[in-house]
């Protein structure tokens, strides 16, 4: 699939194709391409048509026109070819996710990470997902036997999440909240979770105190951060672990275990990392 897209890009853009071939996303039957300003011209519509012609399962081609932005973490698109829609169904490790990618954040680039975390969850475990989107982490976890409190501030995210719970037959294992995660934790979820997932790097450090509040006496946090590095991504892991270790030292908790992994490169010398921390909350931990 990637090879076919690269070939089409080469045919239409020649040497300039190197600017676009790094950044394709396929979500369900929608192909999303990025084209830098310096080669943004009429050729993009032909590119769209050729993608449709050569990749039978692609029904819509969009160009991403903005980075992911705003509280809801959305990106904007220009329509290039195919059916005029932004809704699709995306399949991942046996689960199906119905999303409108113009209304709800969604990326296929976290697929391994989502199943990795789901595989760590024990039968009957209570998990809090503070930034759930349309539900991919939550639904994989529920399919593995966990119970999930799933929060998102974007009403469309909760609408699609609700539908996805039903499609994937986990609606009896998931409780949804449409609000700011800090408010939901304070009101309903103090000391309720064995594990907390924080898949929003922009808020992870500010919301760490709410993740700690939601955790029972002992449990696991999965904290996602964006870390700039100079030489290699081992440096990003070291930095990320240090930041979390330092931040947690403000609270009366014992770190029992800390591990980290690079999830993906988000831009030049900037890695998304996940820090997994097992900890014990002492009395008066805050």
Ligand X SMILES: C[S@@+](CC[C@H](N)C(=O)[O-])C[C@H]1O[C@@H](n2cnc3c(N)ncnc32)[C@H](O)[C@@H]1O
Residues that bind ligand X (CB under 6 A): 71-73, 105-106, 110, 131-133, 136-137, 151-154, 157, 180-181, 199-200, 203
We find the least distance from the C-beta atom of residue 77 to ligand X, in angstroms, to be: 17
Whichever of 13 and 105 has its CB closer to ligand X, that residue is 105
We find the least distance from the C-beta atom of residue 249 to ligand X, in angstroms, to be: 25
We find the least distance from the C-beta atom of residue 211 to ligand X, in angstroms, to be: 12
d(CA 23, CA 34): 6
Whichever of 44 and 173 has its CB closer to ligand X, that residue is 173
We find the least distance from the C-beta atom of residue 131 to ligand X, in angstroms, to be: 3
**Tokens 């697929």 sit at which residue?**
111
Whichever of 46 and 226 has its CB closer to ligand X, that residue is 226
- When CB distances to ligand X are compared, the closest residue is 133
Closest CA to 272 of 200, 208, 224: 224
Whichever of 46 and 108 has its CB closer to ligand X, that residue is 108
d(CA 112, CA 92): 9
Whichever of 9 and 215 has its CB closer to ligand X, that residue is 215
We find the least distance from the C-beta atom of residue 68 to ligand X, in angstroms, to be: 7
**Tokens 């676009």 sit at which residue?**
20
């Amino acid at each position: 699939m990637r090879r076919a897209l690269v070939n089409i890009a080469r045919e239409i853009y020649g040497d300039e194709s190197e600017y676009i071939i790094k950044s394709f996303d396929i979500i369900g039957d929608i192909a999303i391409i990025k084209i830098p300003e310096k080669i943004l011209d009429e050729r993009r519509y032909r590119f769209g048509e050729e993608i449709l012609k050569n990749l039978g399962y692609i029904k819509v081609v969009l160009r991403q026109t903005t980075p992911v932005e705003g509280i809801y973490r959305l990106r904007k698109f220009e329509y290039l070819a195919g059916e005029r829609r932004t809704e699709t169904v995306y399949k991942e490790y046996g689960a199906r996710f119905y999303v409108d990618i113009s209304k709800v954040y969604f990326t296929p680039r976290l697929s391994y990470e989502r199943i990795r975390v789901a595989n760590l969850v024990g039968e009957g475990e209570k998990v809090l997902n503070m930034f759930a989107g349309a539900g991919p982490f939550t639904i994989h976890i529920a399919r593995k036997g966990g119970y999930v409190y799933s929060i998102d501030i974007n009403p469309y995210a909760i609408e699609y999440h609700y539908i996805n719970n039903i499609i994937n037959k986990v609606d009896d294992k998931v409780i949804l909240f449409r609000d700011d995660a800090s408010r939901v934790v304070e009101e309903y979820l103090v000391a309720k979770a064995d594990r907390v997932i924080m898949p929003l790097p922009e808020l992870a450090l500010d919301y760490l105190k709410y993740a700690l509040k939601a955790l029972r006496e002992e449990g696991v946090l999965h904290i996602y951060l964006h870390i700039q590095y100079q030489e290699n991504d081992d440096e990003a892991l070291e930095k990320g672990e240090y930041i979390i270790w330092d931040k947690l030292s403000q609270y009366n908790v014992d770190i029992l275990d800390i591990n980290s992994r690079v999830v993906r490169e988000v831009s030049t010398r900037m890695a998304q990392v996940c820090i997994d921390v097992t900890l014990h909350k002492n009395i008066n931990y805050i």
